[in-house]
Structure 1
Amino acid sequence: MSGSRGTGTPHRPKTAALSRHWKMAVLAAAGFATMVSTTTVVAVTDAGAAETHPATAVTNSGKSKVAPPAAPARDGVDADAESQDGDYWAEHAGNPGPNDGGKGDDRSGSKGEADKEGKGDSGDKRGKGGKENRSASKEGKDGKEKGSASKGDEGKEKGSASKGDEGNEKYSGDRGDHDEKHDYKRHHRDHDKTFVECDPNELIVAIIDANQDSGGDLYLAEDCTYTLTVNQDGNGLPRIIQPITIHGNGATIARAANADQFRLFEVGAGGDLKLSDLTLTRGKTAEGQEGGAVNVNSAGRLDLDHVTVTNNTVDDIEDDDAGGIYNAGVTTIRSSTFSRNAGEDGSALFNDGGKVEISGSKFTRNVTDASDGLGTIRNFAGSLKISKSLISHNTTDEGGGVYVDEGVAEIERSAIVHNVAASTGGGVFLEGQGSLHVRHSTISDNVGTSGGGGLDLEGSAVIEDSKVDDNTTTQNEAPGGGIFVALQQEDAEVAIRDSTVSGNQAPGNDSVGGGIFVSEGSTLTLTDVKVTENLSDEPAGGIQNNGTVNTNGKIRIIDNVPTNCDGSAQPVPNCFG
């Protein structure tokens, strides 16, 4: 949904009866909730095939075992990684853990061996009224979702442990200086740590207790799948209202395939939820709600570290936002992967007036509504910072990678590549009241079907030390293969410096400005910029200037087809031919 929004899902008054309600729900659902003893985790691969990984959370005696939480892998990062540009982070961003829902996706970066989806089959000239089938967005509509759990989700797991084993589970966890093992019934505490056996009911009870005890640290069973079946107020787990940290230990939290529609987590006022080494999958919002995996209210906080958010969706992709995360509060995302999530706007992440910081993360193969969906990541009137991240192979109507309206967005040392917008802004769309800062980044191989193959800029923007290469438009009269500048505010201006705009195309009939298109009334300032080897059907192929272009420093506008700047309504300084 476009335009102004509220604060997300309305707050509901909570009383002491909440915990009693949950405990009664747990008891009532005991015959339906799944206890996974011998667990199989299924990761959806690039081609949609399933890889099975036998869980290691079962001892020889068939009893669940919580191992000491292992530090998430952070390999593959050079010592000088902090100074690397977007091409480097295209190779290294994302959650490297075994449950990475985007496993095998697009690690080749902006120019590597990744399939050129963005330039090939995705430039299909979808119009505003066009619709296409999306496996991720339609998941769960008929109760036959593709997910990360096996058929055991419906209560028929294969395993060696029976219900009778629940009473005497053995846990071996990180106890500081202690190495000894103890026998405990259900979940148990040790030095303010709660170890949660492989049972969704025990996770529910542990969160209820943590909320009542002013917070807590929860350690999940290694590689367990916690399959949720209980729904309360649109949530599969109790609302987070205290500081709670959940150490996933490679576990997965999933909504059961035959369960009611609900998201997995809601973070309410005062809630501070930290998740690590965990997969969140198959969340699906109830009617009219947002945030298929997590909803963060305006006074809530969320921190994700090495988390995979995959195959989450909303009730109606044409009306409900944020298949992955809806944020109206403060959210921090590190070394995480968002894949195959679906929603109308912000298929992976919708920041609604809040603050979001993303680093070292990957957003791939997420989809919005084809006719009017906005952005894989949408920032509305909030603060958004993206660094050292990869945004690739996503599909929207406008803003294939990032959509910014009313707010400030910073993109640093990141790669936005192979995304498709059925309308405009294949990589990035900036509305008139927003502002954008891009540094040390690569925006390449994106498709803006009707304009702005790489970027559609309608508000103030700065692009520096960056590359805008090999983007394209596909329709007739679709200008700005690389960058489309059409400023909506009188005092707005776009500045590009120390950057290259190269190899972009606007090949449709009567299309102009293969490299850059500047509309009437807009102002663009170039400093030390190369505009080379761009192509359009009609002149000018390099820069089509219908507004004002200023140049400073070393400017190279060469080898563009059919002309560099000739044919523009207004001159471009330091441009010949």
Structure 2
Amino acid sequence: MSGSQGTSTDGTSRAKTATLSRHWKVAVLAAAGFATMVGGGGTAVAAHADSAEAKPASAAKDDDRADSQGKGSHGGKGPGSGSKGEESTGKGSDGHGKSKRGGHHAGDRGRGSHEGGHDKTRSVECDPSGLISAIVKANEVSGPSILELAEKCTYTLTANQDGNGLPAITQRITIIGNGATIARAANADDFRIFEVEAGGDLKLRHLTITRGKADEDHGGAVNVRSGGRLDLDHVTLENNTVSDVSSYEGGGVYNEGITTISNSTLDTNFGTEGAAVSSYYGKVDISRTKVTGNVSDGYAAIVNEYGTTKISESYLSYNYGFYGGALNNYGGVTEVEKSALTHNLGYYGGGIYNQYGSLFLRQSTVKNNTATDGGGGGLNLTAPATIEDSKITDNASTNSDGGGVYVDLDDFEAGVAIRDSKVNGNQAPGNDATGGGIFVNPGSQVTLTDSKVKGNISDGPAGGIQNDGTVLTNGKVKIIDNVPTNCDGSAGTVPNCFG
């Protein structure tokens, strides 16, 4: 990670790389049922065809509520796009909604529609040289510029300047893709596609970016520097990579500014830290987006380091990382709402690994994720977290404790709050592993309110809650039908735990 690294819970320095042999990674992925392919600078995970079974909990208390499914980057319908699963209308931030042509937003097409009527729209012929020239000209004017690409054209880039396939963005530029693709040529030198510098404001619409590769730098597809802005809507980032070196982050997007991603797909990107998105002291907002099949040697598909990240109505599945399969929050504030995290694989925390920051998980589902050795099949929490109106179900910690939730907060006075939620059907099947539902380490506190811990299994007691710290209960709490026993541990009994 960038910046100072802090200290891990075992007192050791946080490693810049959780370097795994590629043979080990492939073996682990294969054992977990992942389809793998090797190439493009890293190991990519192909999303399973059954990924549609994952359902976010827009209201976890209602088991019979129909969960909405993710539709990809062009469907405009995220997993849990509203509390009733209604389809997104595709409205842009300008509020004009869809136009009749290709679903573009009226504000994106411009024609003098905003910013005091100064927008300049240019059509770009199906030629990469024409696109480069258009961006150069757009950077020469202070007013917003709109570049409209040739419909379904592939702009193949063969050369770069300062590691970028296109001129760095320094002004307000919107690129309407019309279903086009911007790609680095397969036999070209390594370079990313876009860089947004301070003062740059890049909006991309209805576009695919692929095969970007940052060599010894950040951002395989897009690098957003401090003071820059990036806005993606109906954009696909796929097969983008950063070098397999410890300090390079963001296979898809590296952000030190402000990045907004909506109605998009981030698929099969590779990066040591943040295979899809890595944000360092920045702000990221992800909504109605699919994050699938991304692979990291170190820290998760999405990494928030000392910044602010919000993920809503989105679907994170079949991602792999050492510290968190889908999401790693390191010293930042991360909110996850109305989203599904399913079938992700990690060493620590199959779904989420929360370190040194604050995590808020609301109206979401964490299901069928796996931690191989470090604990927390669903969530590994070494920093305070609030879990509310959510489902932590059918996760597994194969060789460690905490099939659903692993809690180790000995460095924090605050604890973990689980409210109006279900921790059901999780497993910790390894030899002498405990806490099939929840594992609470010494010095840690978990408060359960109006929640259920039911039907969890571990090799050793307790199958429900292994309490070696402090567990408090409020309201209607049910801890039942866990095997073996419901609660156990060195810290004594758990209130409202029976059987």
Instruction: Calculate the TM-score normalised by the size of structure 2.
Output: 0.79
Q: State which of 395, 409, 415 in structure 2 corresponds to 1:471.
A: 395
Contact 1:89 1:415 in 2 (8 A): no
Q: Which residue of 1 aligns with 2:427?
A: 505
How far the C-alpha of 1:382 sits from its partner, in A, is 0.1
Question: 1:492 and 2:470 equivalent?
Answer: no
Task: Please show how residues 169-184 of structure 1 align to structure 2 within 5 Å.
Answer: none
Q: Which residue of 2 aligns with 1:525?
A: 447
Q: Which residue of 1 aligns with 2:147?
A: 218
Unaligned ranges ≥5, structure 1: 6-43, 50-80, 101-105, 110-173, 178-189
Q: Which residue of 1 aligns with 2:69?
A: 91
Task: Please show how residues 154-173 of structure 1 align to structure 2 within 5 Å.
Answer: none
How far the C-alpha of 1:191 sits from its partner, in A, is 7.3
Q: Which amino acid aligns with 2:275?
A: S
How far the C-alpha of 1:230 sits from its partner, in A, is 1.8
Q: Which residue of 2 aligns with 1:412?
A: 337
SS in 2 for 1:91: coil
SS in 1 for 2:242: coil
Q: State which of 509, 512, 516 in structure 1 corresponds to 2:438.
A: 516
How far the C-alpha of 1:424 sits from its partner, in A, is 1.1
| TM-superposition CA deviations, 1:197-236 (whole Å, max 9, x none) | 0000000000000000124100000000000112100000
Q: State which of 321, 325, 340 in structure 1 corresponds to 2:253.
A: 325
Q: Against the structure 1 CA distance between its residues 349 and 522, is the aligned structure 2 distance closer, same or farther, given a 3 Å change threshold?
A: same
Q: State which of 187, 207, 211 in structure 2 corresponds to 1:282.
A: 211
How far the C-alpha of 1:488 sits from its partner, in A, is 3.8
Q: Which residue of 2 aligns with 1:201?
A: 129
Q: Which residue of 2 aligns with 1:572?
A: 494
Q: Which amino acid aligns with 1:558?
A: I
Q: Which residue of 2 aligns with 1:187?
A: none
Higher RCO (C-alpha under 8 Å, 6+ residues apart) = 1
| TM-superposition CA deviations, 1:11-59 (whole Å, max 9, x none) | xxxxxxxxxxxxxxxxxxxxxxxxxxxxxxxxx996899xxxxxxxxxx
Question: 1:438 and 2:361 equivalent?
Answer: yes
Contact 2:324 2:349 in 1 (8 A): yes
| TM-superposition CA deviations, 1:472-524 (whole Å, max 9, x none) | 0111xx11000001014332211001000000000000100000000001011
How far the C-alpha of 1:96 sits from its partner, in A, is 2.1
Q: Select the structure that is richer in strand.
A: 2
Q: Which residue of 1 aligns with 2:168?
A: 239
| TM-superposition CA deviations, 1:519-550 (whole Å, max 9, x none) | 00101100001000000000011000000011
Q: Against the structure 1 CA distance between its residues 357 and 88, is the aligned structure 2 distance closer, same or farther, given a 3 Å change threshold?
A: farther
Q: Which amino acid aligns with 1:239?
A: A
How far the C-alpha of 1:259 sits from its partner, in A, is 1.1
Task: Please show how residues 447-486 of structure 1 align to structure 2 within 5 Å.
Answer: 447-450=370-373, 451-475=375-399, 478-486=400-408
Q: Which residue of 1 aligns with 2:19?
A: none
SS in 2 for 1:207: helix
SS in 1 for 2:420: strand
Q: Which residue of 2 aligns with 1:112?
A: none
| TM-superposition CA deviations, 1:90-142 (whole Å, max 9, x none) | 61254026xx9xxxxx9899xxxxxxxxxxxxxxxxxxxxxxxxxxxxxxxxx
Question: 1:427 and 2:351 equivalent?
Answer: yes
Contact 1:89 1:389 in 2 (8 A): no
Q: Against the structure 1 CA distance between its residues 90 and 391, is the aligned structure 2 distance closer, same or farther, given a 3 Å change threshold?
A: farther
Contact 1:281 1:310 in 2 (8 A): yes
Q: Against the structure 1 CA distance between its residues 319 and 558, is the aligned structure 2 distance closer, same or farther, given a 3 Å change threshold?
A: same
| TM-superposition CA deviations, 1:361-396 (whole Å, max 9, x none) | 010000011xxx011100000000000000000011
Whole-angstrom CA distance in 2 between matches of 1:549 and 1:297: 43
Q: Against the structure 1 CA distance between its residues 558 and 568, is the aligned structure 2 distance closer, same or farther, given a 3 Å change threshold?
A: farther
How far the C-alpha of 1:571 sits from its partner, in A, is 1.4
Q: State which of 541, 555, 571 in structure 1 corresponds to 2:477.
A: 555
Contact 2:59 2:390 in 1 (8 A): no
Whole-angstrom CA distance in 2 between matches of 1:245 and 1:454: 39
How far the C-alpha of 1:89 sits from its partner, in A, is 6.9
Q: Which residue of 2 aligns with 1:4?
A: 4
Question: 1:302 and 2:230 equivalent?
Answer: yes
RMSD: 2.8
Whole-angstrom CA distance in 2 between matches of 1:380 and 1:532: 34
Which stretch of structure 1 is more off in the superposition, 452-461 or 312-321?
312-321
Contact 2:2 2:280 in 1 (8 A): no
Q: Against the structure 1 CA distance between its residues 324 and 175, is the aligned structure 2 distance closer, same or farther, given a 3 Å change threshold?
A: closer
SS in 2 for 1:92: coil
Q: Which residue of 2 aligns with 1:253?
A: 182
Whole-angstrom CA distance in 2 between matches of 1:175 and 1:445: 44
How far the C-alpha of 1:314 sits from its partner, in A, is 1.3
Question: 1:397 and 2:304 equivalent?
Answer: no
Whole-angstrom CA distance in 1 between matches of 2:454 and 2:58: 26
Task: Please show how residues 35-54 of structure 1 align to structure 2 within 5 Å.
Answer: none
Whole-angstrom CA distance in 2 between matches of 1:415 and 1:236: 34
Contact 1:89 1:390 in 2 (8 A): no
Q: Which amino acid aligns with 2:370?
A: V
Q: How many residues were matched structurally? A: 418
| TM-superposition CA deviations, 1:435-469 (whole Å, max 9, x none) | 00010000010001121100001111100000000
Q: Which amino acid aligns with 1:275?
A: L
Contact 1:243 1:272 in 2 (8 A): yes
Q: Against the structure 1 CA distance between its residues 274 and 47, is the aligned structure 2 distance closer, same or farther, given a 3 Å change threshold?
A: closer
Unaligned ranges ≥5, structure 2: 6-43, 50-55, 82-108, 113-117
Contact 1:496 1:525 in 2 (8 A): yes
Instruction: Calculate the TM-score normalised by the size of structure 1.
Output: 0.69
Q: Against the structure 1 CA distance between its residues 482 and 2, is the aligned structure 2 distance closer, same or farther, given a 3 Å change threshold?
A: farther
Whole-angstrom CA distance in 1 between matches of 2:272 and 2:68: 26
Whole-angstrom CA distance in 2 between matches of 1:541 and 1:415: 25
Whole-angstrom CA distance in 1 between matches of 2:486 and 2:221: 48
